[in-house]
Amino acid sequence: MKKTILMIAAAVVCLSGVSAQNRAKVKFPDYSFTTVKAAPITSVKNQYRSGTCWAFSTIGFVESEVIRLNGIKDTLKYPDFSEFFVVSHSYLERAEKYVRLDGKMGFSAGSQGGDVIQVIKDWGLVPQAEMTGMQYGTDKPVQAELDGVLKAYVDVIVKNPNRTLTTAWKNGFKGILDAYLGAWPEKFTVDGKEYTPISYRDALKFNPDDYVNLTSYTHHPFYTWFPVEVCDNWRSDLSFNVPIDEFMEIVESALSSGYTIEWSADVSDPGFTRDGLGILVDTDASSRAGSDQEHWVGKAESGESALATVVEKTPTQESRQIEFDNKTMTDDHGMQLFGIAKDQDGKTFYMAKNSWGETGKYKGIWYVTPAFVKGQSLGIMLHKSALPKGLLKKMGK
């Protein structure tokens, strides 16, 4: 990944999926959505030119969990946690592993939700105001330079001809992080009370051990734990493997019960649009008349004709496995599922909070069909209390 534009793309996914230029041009008819059930979420954020969707989606999920766990009703009291406190810790720990493995692993800004939970478990939570991550002259994240500098730095350390590493390299790496993202706060005051990141996390009743990852593939036995084999899962976080129909039942039940879900998905499908839709469209069967965001959904173009009839593919356990094995399903993007809606025809859609700012027709919210979630999901994370008791028993929870 030598060119700047590829560095930005690699920050989101180890192997980029279908490029914007190769995406089928699909424009859907107008939809009108009515919310059926929606859990509280915090404001839509903008990862902008950074590959940190995993941090933004999971921190948004954590914020909703803190709201739920503490019964917060006043939106003015909703939490706002620092994504870049997590990103900074993650980058340093990834650098340590990269050096230990002599550079034989991926090194980019991309990661997964389990990484956020591990950082919170080890280091705590910090309010956004205490560490904005914006120390390098822009008002929104623009991190190709930082990503490139960090990668070059660790590659020099790995290739050290002296064999014995200095005692200075970690401090040097941390110095770069501090210069771009800011130093980690050791203490801070919230509502007149002083906290450390750990005591702040505990005061908010957030227990990282209460969260589990689920996935659904056949190259490992069902009802066993395994690390999903994608480059962004550099910590080798474990996911519990369940059949896809059970996976979807859990998604539906959790959202119906007021839980939110951290969602890792492939968004290179042409049915994932810049206007806030995620539909697993079958372009052959459908009747037709003719930043990070742009990487996956392309720039807005004129002259696109709407589909007269939208026909969706029917994803299966087998089709998921084929696409995972042949790399047409990749770990593109992280979002937060938080609700259920119906369109004007009564069809179910799930509501997803994105991290591309208040963009698109629905101001940063995407409406995705169950078929899209079933076909394009790499995995989900949710609170263990949202799971059936029988499944928890199989997990050993």
Cα–Cα distance for residue pair 157/163, rounded to 1 Å: 9
What's the mean pLDDT when you consider all of the chain? 90
Lowest mean pLDDT: which of 58-67, 209-218, 291-300, 360-369? Answer: 291-300
- How many CB atoms within 10 Å of residue 224? 13
Q: How far apart are CA 172 and CA 292, in angstroms?
A: 29
HSE-CB for 269 with a 13 A CA cutoff = 27
Contacts of 335 (CB under 8 A, 6+ apart): 53, 57, 263, 265, 352, 353, 354, 355, 366
Instruction: Work out the angle between the directed axes of helices 83-100 and 113-123 (0-180°, nearest 10).
Output: 100
Strand residues in the chain grouped as ranges (E): 34-38, 188-190, 193-195, 211-215, 225-227, 238-241, 261-265, 277-278, 287-288, 307-309, 333-342, 348-353, 365-368, 377-383
- The CATH number corresponding to 4-395 among 3.90.70.10, 3.40.980.10, 3.40.50.970, 3.40.190.10 equals 3.90.70.10
Q: Is 39 left (phi over 0), alpha (psi -120 to 50) or beta?
A: beta
Question: Per-residue pLDDT averaged across 300-326, rounded?
Answer: 80
* Backbone angles phi and psi of 37, in degrees to 5: -155, 130
Task: Indicate the pLDDT class of residue 6, thresholds 50, 70 and 90.
Answer: very low
**pLDDT (tens digit per residue) in 115-167:** 999 999 999 999 999 999 999 999 999 999 999 999 999 999 999 887 799 99
Domain boundaries, the chain: 4-395
How far is 56 from 62, CA to CA, in rounded Å?
10
CA 186 to CA 191: how far, in whole Å? 17
Distance CA 348, CA 108 (A): 36
Does residue 187 register a pLDDT over 70?
yes
Query: Do residues 4 and 283 touch, judged by C-beta distance below 8 A?
Result: no
Task: Answer for the pair 114, 233: CB distance below 8 angstroms, yes or no.
Answer: yes
